[in-house]
Structure 1
Amino acid sequence: MAVTKIWAIKDSLSRVVDYAANPNKTIFSDLQKVIHYAENESKTADENEKICYVTGVNCNAKTAFNEMISVQKKYNKCTGNVAYHAYQSFKTGEVTPEQCHRIGVELAKKMWGIDHQVLVATHFNTGTYHNHFVINSVNMWNGRKFDCNKKAYYKFRALSDELCEKEGLTVIKNPKGKTPRSMYFAEKNGEPTKYNLMRLAIDYAVSISYSPTEFVRVLKKQGYIVNLNPDLKYATIRSVNDKRNTRLYRLGKEYDREHIFRRMKENDVWEVSANYNAFIKTTKQKYIQPKKYFFNGSFAKTQKITGLKALYLYYCYRLGYLPKKKSHKPLSPEMYEAIRKLERYSQQITLICKERLNTLDDVNVFISMSTEQIKMLNNERKHIYNRLRRCTDEDTKVELISKRNDYTEVIRHIRRDVKTAKSIIEDNPKIMQNIRAEQSLQHQRFAVKHKQKVRYYDYYR
């Protein structure tokens, strides 16, 4: 299995060539950062990294930089993308250093042929062999620059996979797209993200199912629709309230169609049947008459909670956050995923109560007024900055610095409130959607027959 990547170098050709020949240096796209990093001994690259092999394709490995520069000067193309840097990384323990380097050199020849000069270096870092490619952007024969578009990258990856198959190495058949940083760390920490919740639901469904029919039914009770049709190229899963499907292989190798079937066949029939029947029975409930309470007073004189405050209180109840003494778990995957944002919702409801924001229009007015206030405070702070530049008296300077810091602190708090207010407007449609999804799944899962239709949104609108 080999992972590939390629990107442009604009600042220095010598730096990237030196890196390929000297693993004590670190690759960055900005020369200033490289110098700063190299001078800081406490932030050196992996000192254990060692070069295994260095080979020049259409150039000599020892004089690669001079040869590449000569070609660029010949065609007067020494600016812009001076080079391209690519890498090919193999699975730990799958290749030998000789095999890794041989594949890298062959890949360079197939990709850039006799038109471009390429330096191929094989490194060993943390137990993983990988190849670095430094490609001269200028063609040796006609002076044309290499067009590193998506088509070129896909060709680079396809050639790498072809060579891996030829060598009997594993190949990633369904490469994943780029995962957002926040989502990556949330999944790594086991937080209830969209994919993590799908994995948990599938694992539970597999543990109490013996046939695909039972598996689909258990997932439906958990709020997911799965399509295991063998006639389709990919099996998919989605929330009952979602319109977009997710291919099962994106959740991991053990969650594709074949692995799910294999895991179900390994289950004990009698044990699985008992657990399956218990799950199906416990998810059915009859309508329970609510308890009656006597209130000493008049509801007519009681102030009703309305607007955004009522919406957030009801949302916290649906999330299982309120009431504290009798907490419950939400049913829909959307609500489970929203639990990760409790801190964000807490900041929003705090601002709503503090500023008495009843509707979204009130929120927009608050944002406009706060923005104007920030501009005014910035002008006053700027005036203090100007006085500080001209001030020579030390006591006056201390007083001005104190005033400047006070203005900065006030501006910081207002900006934070504006950011929270904007998040209220941004999250409002999603909150309403999540509430509808939770109510829909509750009626579907528990089969509750209400005598009277309850409209929860009358006091939100």
Structure 2
Amino acid sequence: MSIFTAVRNQKQTAGALHGAMQYIMDPRKTVDGERNLVTGINCTAYTAFVEMMTTKRQFKKTEGRQFYQFVQSFPADAKITPAEVHEIGLEFAKRQFPEYEVLVATHCNTEHLHNHFIVNAVSFQTGKKLHQNHGDLEQHRKVNDEICAAHGQEILEHYGRNPKQKPMKPKEYQAAIRQQSWKFQLIKAIEEALAYSTSKETFIQNMNYEGYDVAWSDSRKYITYTCPNGRKCRDNKLHDDTYLKENMEKIFAYRQAAGFIPLTPEPKEGWLTQAETFFSEMVRLGYHVEQSFLPPENGRTIARNDRKLKQREALKKLAHGHKLSSEEENQKEDLRW
């Protein structure tokens, strides 16, 4: 069975639309063998942004809601190929948004194959603005099930508004597929977002693209994640200290200082170890700066010459039994003279 959810894109600008497209079209996520699983419906995939913006300008509807984004994901144990997942996504987009430009991208770089849909908020045929509510989401889920069933995939048993039965709520819908482990998916999403993020802001944006809301405030001790299924989870419930707020802040501070490039190999010690070392050095530097402003002890002046400081460090190492490099040997001799 597949999950169909709406992504809450709070930022609705042309830049946000372009950023979302760039994210879902990343070939590191969409290439399966020799095929890149990105397709445009009523548009060409790689000119989709220009075409969508042209439609908005043509009908003079460039303000307000720019786009809608949805995710259609499959469990890790589903007997389905990335190409089949892509075909299901294309069928869904054609059926549900026949008058709108839609970009469909299949991500096959994780255990859970999933489709991303970005839908223009303005019809290219009529100029009508697209509006979506909870009822529309339920309808999308029904159609999603019909298409998945036609492709031999398992589906949820009931959606309808039977008078004798309460309608299925979003949380109940997700509860029916708990075997997919929502918390495991959250952890995988965090790991994935971290691989592409250089800062807190880009991390939150990348989590938003995957359908997760992130509440990260300086005034609160924890980071709180809201999953596509409505469940909330704090960082201290993820069973890995790497994801704690204080450690995430250290990771991003280190990445900013080190000029981290997304998806490059991490140091052997791991990011957290490097970050801890970085912060220890910062604390020690702060201590030395503070000491430099204190009155000199016993009337002695504080050495401000870099060479003198290096020479003193060399003698300290020697005093503690450490071997010196040839450069440090020279510094030691210079200091004696």
- TM score, norm. by length of structure 2: 0.44
| Larger fraction in helix | 1
Greater gyration radius? 1
- TM score, norm. by length of structure 1: 0.32
Report which structure shows greater RCO (CA 8 Å, sep ≥6): 2
